[in-house]
Chain A
Amino acid sequence: MSASRRDFLKLTGLAGAGLVVRVPFLAAATPADPGAEPFAPNQWLRVGSDGRVTLVVARTEMGQGVRTALSMILADELEADWASVSVEQASTGPLYTDMNTGGSDSVESSWVELRRAAASARTMLVAAAARRWNVGVESCRAACGSVVHVPTGRRLSYGSLAAAAARLPVPKEPALKDPKDFRIVGKPVRRVDGPAIVTGKARYGLDTRVPGMLFAAVARCPVAGGKLARFDAAKAKSVPGVVRVVEVSTGVAVVARSTWSALSGREALDVAWDEGGNAGLTTAELVRRIDAAAVSGKPHVSRREGDVEKALAGAAVRMTATYRDGFQAHASVEPQNAIARVSSGACEIWAPTQNPQRVQREAARLLGIAPEKVTVHVTLVGGGFGRRLGADYAVEAADVARAAGAPVQVVWSRKDDFEHDWLHPAGRADLEAGLDGSGRIVAWKHRFASLHLSMFGAFDPESVDQPDVDPWGGYDTPYAVPNLLAEWIAVESPIRTGAWRSVEYPANVFARESFLDEIAHRTGRDPLDLRRELLTGSFPWASKRVDRSQLAAVLDLAASKAGWGKHLPDRPGRRSGRGVACNVYHGRTLLAHVAEVSVGAGGDVRVHRIVTAADCGQVVNPLGVQGQVESGVAWGLSYALKGGIAIEKGRVAQASFRDFPALGIAEMPRVEVYTVPGSNRPTGFGEQPVPPVAPAVANAIFAATGRRARSLPIRPADLAS
């Protein structure tokens, strides 16, 4: 396996056992900031003599609510007073070696470790109190930021015990709370960053300030693979406020005293590009390459059960369908930006990043210094969605700061952000099924072709031979079919492509769940009943097996709450329908949506209601889960129904939100969320709601109109009556 592929697995956290690097729990006392607080039993938390509890979060907060969820886990297990807990963002350094935030696993991967860290601290605080009272620890109990001596009702605050607790040994195997005693975990808790956000005090990357810093805008070749031909700095330098114009590896940086001067200076810059071999590239050409690979390329087999070809040959009915999706941008509202300060063999970077260690590594390589000489400070992130797993914009800041000889904030304009995004690539899924005389599915074939994700490195044909992990949504289909084949083909991407909220799942879940719906209608069965029939036994995922009945339970919950099979409200002049779709995300969170839509005479689609059911183990914060479903639904609907990205003349044709419309307030459906009660390890919720949105809507559109949408985004013209 190549390094890039391995990085990808690590980055997305999908590889299950073995590949995901975890920071081990540190049993030894290693204060995060010695001297600042009296009690810091490990790198995750500190208790001050004033009773303040500080949680150090080594993950990126980008709206998914990780700071809130981790604070809840900590406060509950520590028996802290919720009001006393505050969050501190970790920076790169020896204590925090994997801060990658991707693959929706921050809560899951922190669950045990953080609880153990908090339980250790609680045990030590209780022991310190028992010592002070000269009583047995068993007669003492931790509660809401204090230790209580139960027989006498005496009470000592954590703050007053912190210094004494710090002198005690850290327990190796602290006793964890019984989940039935959780008093914060499982309750709706509002976002900890809320007060800072609503008062404008929250500091994102773009709001970060460093003494003496300048601002820069970089002119880059709009065509991937192109390079600088020539530039003349004179006009740019004549713009008031422009300090320097410097060549860097990504183009030409205009460095100025203010953002506006930098942007104006770049506007005035005289620059020409050698656009290279991609200058004629179009969306149609890229799709042609994907099609050619899908039809005649050599596929990699990711899952094979039984003999699909034989079963297809003997089938009473054979069905085939091709599904497509398009290029999409991340378009987080905070554009890319970063500050770098480079001095005498060291570098400091402030960036809204999902992967600070990657920034550290790549900046070190650029500067020719050791990675540990680069410190990366993670700011709040104004929307991540996978875009900020790339380190490009932060490394560029280091490049500009070095060339400018001053700390610099590199600011990307909205147009830059579209032009140099790592796009979600177009994809094509070819599905084929064989049915026996009674309509039973006896063969299922899923082949996916798309561009490789250049965010994770150059195309390496060897690196794609991962028999068990692609395509997401194809190889891990939850349905029991006796003869099964999942295959995929990656095409070298000449443009910038990358991880995008749930990556390959949306395209493949759209295909799989739509095709199942097509089979249900062809064989005269209810789409929900057909799914239930196929959800018996278990299916493999990494080293474990997933019980299909759990997904059946989730589907039933969604269906009953949505009123599946019941009459829909009449909407004059519109055709109405319901659709269902489900998915299991990397063998973890199981989730189903039921969509209620109506279609007007002109083919305009309105999604009125989405009912979601999920099994994600222990729900840490129901308010957070609800929010992530709302968010995933909005994201999935933008993907299913709104614009997309077009490549023209080798460049991204969209430059603003005007030509890349995202789902707006008037189009937002009512979203209802139901979870299956559970006390198992919590599984993630950031990406999970996205994949089944498009097929639930497409299936509802079919129920409403009899028209099958096989290509995303769905266009009204295809549905006009």
Chain B
Amino acid sequence: MRYRLTVNRKLREVEAEPDTPLLWVLRDGLNLTGTKYGCGVGACGACTVLDGGKAARSCQIPVELAAGRRITTIEGLSSDGGHPCQRAWLEEDVAQCGYCQSGMILEAAALLAAKRRPTDEEIDAAFADHVCRCGTWQRVRRAVHSTSRLASKGATPSEGRQ
């Protein structure tokens, strides 16, 4: 089957079986490997993308349901790594192995788009279903707070900046 979906502000056409998770369409079909496979059952958050601005687990969205939606992956969050979340992630040196971090950054972008100044509890709730075996949590929290400070200085942590 052929499906049309908007990925990183571009209309893309992909050939896939209807039950193929968006995750594999992105990775194998569109070569957007920044979206990671961690569990395939929506339990780790590594495959998080923005679906119309909201964080979504791409392993849980069959491509037939993704058709017509606006999807943003880590590659499309900014053209140059300049999204406030990405800058904060670098500034706080959050990543260790880094594998789960694209999902976390997109989760943070969605959280901050909905909530300009999230509390620790709100951050914990947003990241409750993410897994990071390197234990980068202290820095994740710090990076979300510092993005929120960056944002209040003018930048907007919203979906897909060009």
Taking Cβ atoms with an 8 Å cutoff, the residues of A that contact B are: 62-65, 190-191, 193-195, 197-204, 206-207, 209, 215, 240-241, 258-261, 263-264, 330-335, 380-385, 411, 413-414, 623, 627, 630-635, 656-658, 662-666, 668, 670-671
Q: Which of A63, A198, A656 contacts B41 (CB 8 A)?
A: A656
Across-interface contacts of B133 in A (CB, < 8 A): 330-333, 383, 385, 634-635, 662
- Check if B20 sits within 8 Å of A334, measured CB to CB: no
Q: Which of B46, B96, B99 contacts A631 (CB 8 A)?
A: B96
Across-interface contacts of B19 in A (CB, < 8 A): 264
Across-interface contacts of A633 in B (CB, < 8 A): 135
Chain A CB within 8 A of B148 CB = no
A-B contact pairs, 29 of them (CB 8 A): A63-B98, A191-B96, A193-B95, A194-B90, A194-B98, A195-B81, A195-B90, A197-B89, A199-B75, A201-B75, A209-B31, A241-B17, A258-B24, A260-B28, A381-B97, A383-B99, A383-B133, A414-B40, A414-B44, A630-B137, A630-B139, A631-B134, A631-B135, A633-B135, A657-B39, A658-B41, A662-B131, A663-B137, A666-B128
- Check if A380 sits within 8 Å of B98, measured CB to CB: yes
| Main SS class of interface, B | loop
Residue of A nearest to B63 (CB): A260
Q: How far is the CA of A65 from the CA of B94 in the complex (A)?
A: 12
| Main SS class of interface, A | loop
Q: How far does the Cβ of A693 sit from chain B's closest Cβ, in whole Å?
A: 11
Interface residues of B in 14-40 (CB under 8 A from A): 16-17, 19-21, 24, 27-29, 31-40
Asked if A199 meets B38 with Cβ closer than 8 Å, knowing A332-B133, A333-B99, the reply is no
Residue of A nearest to B105 (CB): A198
Q: How far does the Cβ of B61 sit from chain A's closest Cβ, in whole Å?
A: 13
Q: Which of B28, B36, B123, B131 contacts A258 (CB 8 A)?
A: B28
Q: How far is the CA of A385 from the CA of B135 in the complex (A)?
A: 12
Chain A CB within 8 A of B66 CB = no
Across-interface contacts of B137 in A (CB, < 8 A): 630, 634, 663-665, 668
Across-interface contacts of B90 in A (CB, < 8 A): 190, 194-195, 198
Across-interface contacts of B123 in A (CB, < 8 A): 665
Across-interface contacts of A411 in B (CB, < 8 A): 37
Q: How far does the Cβ of B50 sit from chain A's closest Cβ, in whole Å?
A: 13
Give the one of A62, A204, A261, A382 with max B CB within 10 A: A382
Known: A194-B95, A260-B20. 13 other contacts (CB 8 A): A200-B34, A206-B37, A334-B97, A380-B98, A383-B97, A630-B139, A631-B96, A631-B135, A634-B134, A634-B137, A662-B133, A665-B128, A668-B137
Across-interface contacts of A260 in B (CB, < 8 A): 16-17, 20-21, 24, 28
Residue of A nearest to B76 (CB): A200
Q: How far is the CA of A93 from the CA of B123 in the complex (A)?
A: 47
Across-interface contacts of A209 in B (CB, < 8 A): 31, 33
- Check if B33 sits within 8 Å of A665, measured CB to CB: no
Q: Which of A62, A63, A198 contacts B81 (CB 8 A)?
A: A198
Residue of A nearest to B97 (CB): A63
Across-interface contacts of A382 in B (CB, < 8 A): 36, 97-100
Chain A CB within 8 A of B146 CB = no
Interface residues of B in 77-116 (CB under 8 A from A): 78, 81, 86, 89-90, 93, 95-102, 105
- Check if A62 sits within 8 Å of B97, measured CB to CB: yes
Q: Which of A202, A380, A671 contacts B138 (CB 8 A)?
A: A671
Chain A CB within 8 A of B145 CB = no
Across-interface contacts of A623 in B (CB, < 8 A): 93
Across-interface contacts of B37 in A (CB, < 8 A): 206, 259, 335, 411
- Check if B128 sits within 8 Å of A333, measured CB to CB: no
Across-interface contacts of B28 in A (CB, < 8 A): 215, 258-260
- Check if A200 sits within 8 Å of B74, measured CB to CB: yes
- Check if A414 sits within 8 Å of B41, measured CB to CB: yes
Q: How far does the Cβ of B64 sit from chain A's closest Cβ, in whole Å?
A: 13
Give the one of B41, B134, B137, B139 with max A CB within 10 A: B134
